[in-house]
Amino acid sequence: MKALIQRVCSGRVEVDGKTIASIGKGMVILVGIGHQDTITQVQAIADKVVNLRIFEDGAGKMNLSILDTCGDILLVSQFTLYADTHKGRRPAFTEAAAPEMAKTLVDDFSQELITRGVTTQTGEFGAHMVVNIVNDGPVTILLEQ
């Protein structure tokens, strides 16, 4: 499982020209599910995400978590995080999970974040999405489990 976390001022997802999810200050997380991933990886990454201290405190140090700041999460499934570009010029996605499995684990990830106390919105699995991200910092962190 791969989660590309971006600290944001705002984030929004549009499908067919309509906004389906929108957040202010918080995180946009692009998540990729591998074919060997399980709920164990989902739970471990969820724990890491909600406790990751990437928000600034009063002294300007990254000492606060999303729980501390009451920020929101916008979660977007992105199988292209599993792109293999070692050969040729066209990426291969052989390590990405099948869509049915990936959707289940992305839904589980969203629920795990909500259970841990973070308001979470999602994109639309399998849809062509336009994702607007206003990165804050910029701060971008890749978690792999």
CA 124 to chain centre: 13
Q: Which of 6, 78, 121, 122 is catalytic?
A: 78
Q: Which of 80, 93, 111, 115 is catalytic?
A: 80
The residues, ordered by sequence, that sit 6+ positions from 117 with a Cβ below 8 Å of its Cβ are: 50, 67
Q: For this structure, is 79 an active site residue?
A: yes
Q: Residue 102 in 3-state DSSP?
A: helix
The residues, ordered by sequence, that sit 6+ positions from 7 with a Cβ below 8 Å of its Cβ are: 26, 27, 54, 55, 135, 136, 137, 138, 139, 140
Q: Which of 6, 41, 55, 79 is catalytic?
A: 79
Angle value at C-alpha 72, between 1 and 39, nearest 5 degrees = 25
Catalytic (active-site) positions: 78-80
